[in-house]
Amino acid sequence: MKKLIAVLMCGAIGFGTPGLGFAQSSSAEKVEQLSKDATAKYREGDFNAAIELFQKAYDIEPVPNLLFNIARCHEKLEEWDKAIGFYQKFVVEPDVEKDARQAAVDRIDALNEVKQALAAQDRDTTTPDDGGDKQVEAPPAEVSNSPDNTWSYIMLGSGAGLIGGGVLFGVLASSKQSDFEQSTDVGEKQDLRSSGQTFAMVADGLYITGAVVGLIGVYMLLTADEPEQNATFVRPNAWIESTGGGFVLEGSF
């Protein structure tokens, strides 16, 4: 019967070793049946039930194989301390074969390494923050993609100013024309006509220049989103002489 139990444990779990003989055949049969049932539960993955059955068998007859098998069940349940405890009980049992005892010692060493690794992992995950000041990286500065419309508005303002100047000179020209019609002096009439014509020319020049500059400002606003290739500038140049006046636009587009 001793050989039968050893063969049973070896085939079921793979670590069975010869145990002690049974004093009575009735108890031996009960232990054998409990061991078979425990082995079936082990194969099904019901390790708690297997432990209970192996323990009942061991309580009837303290066969060392049963201690080893109980340790294996606890190991499957990842109950490392309990597994190590049963392996240690198995190691100190008499009549345990040398190879089986060494196998149990190897399992004890392996499980102790597992426990140390898990403890180190727990320390790493529970280590408190050192409280040191952490440098907070400033967010990148936002780069504005809005076009610079400064010159566009300058051109629009300049155009409006030039047109306003044209209105002023137009009023002056009208005033000279009115004085010319009311004057009876020939010399005065000539002066009034000359100055009136000059003011009228200047007014026309301002109107035209203001309109052109304003249109350029509008164009610059509409094309502000396009890639800049060449610098755009417009510089009005006006002059007034005794015989007339005018404006010249100098620029680059």
Q: Which residue has the tokens 């320390």?
A: 123
For residue 246, the cross-strand partners are: 239
Q: Considering the chain, what is the average pLDDT of its residues?
A: 75
Termini Cα distance of the chain: 111
Amino acid (1-letter code) at residue 91: V
Q: How far apart are CA 98 and CA 102, in angstroms?
A: 6
Q: What is the mean pLDDT of residues 193-204?
A: 81
pLDDT digits (tens, 9 = 90+) for 226-240: 444 444 455 555 555
The pLDDT of residue 167 is 86
Does position 38 have pLDDT exceeding 50, yes or no? yes
Closest CA to 66 of 74, 58, 77, 75: 58
Question: Are residues 218 and 155 both part of a single domain?
Answer: yes
Residue 141 lies in a domain: no
Residue 34 lies in a domain: yes
97-111, 112-126, 183-197: the lowest-pLDDT one: 183-197
Does position 12 have pLDDT exceeding 80, yes or no? no
Residue 17's pLDDT band (cuts 50, 70, 90): very low
Task: Decide: 65 and 5 in contact? Cβ < 8 Å.
Answer: yes
Q: Which residues span the domain enclosing 113?
A: 2-119
The pLDDT of residue 129 is 53
CATH number of the domain bearing residue 45: 1.25.40.10
Q: How far apart are CA 5 and CA 197, in angstroms?
A: 135
Question: Are residues 173 and 113 both part of a single domain?
Answer: no
- Torsion, Cα of 178, 182, 186, 190 (10° steps): 0
User: What total number of domains does the chain contain?
Assistant: 2
Question: Are residues 105 and 170 both part of a single domain?
Answer: no
The pLDDT of residue 64 is 92
Residue 135 lies in a domain: no
Question: Are residues 175 and 85 both part of a single domain?
Answer: no
* Better pLDDT: 231 or 8: 231
Question: Are residues 83 and 179 both part of a single domain?
Answer: no
Report percent pLDDT > 70 for the chain.
68
Task: Decide: 206 and 166 in contact? Cβ < 8 Å.
Answer: yes
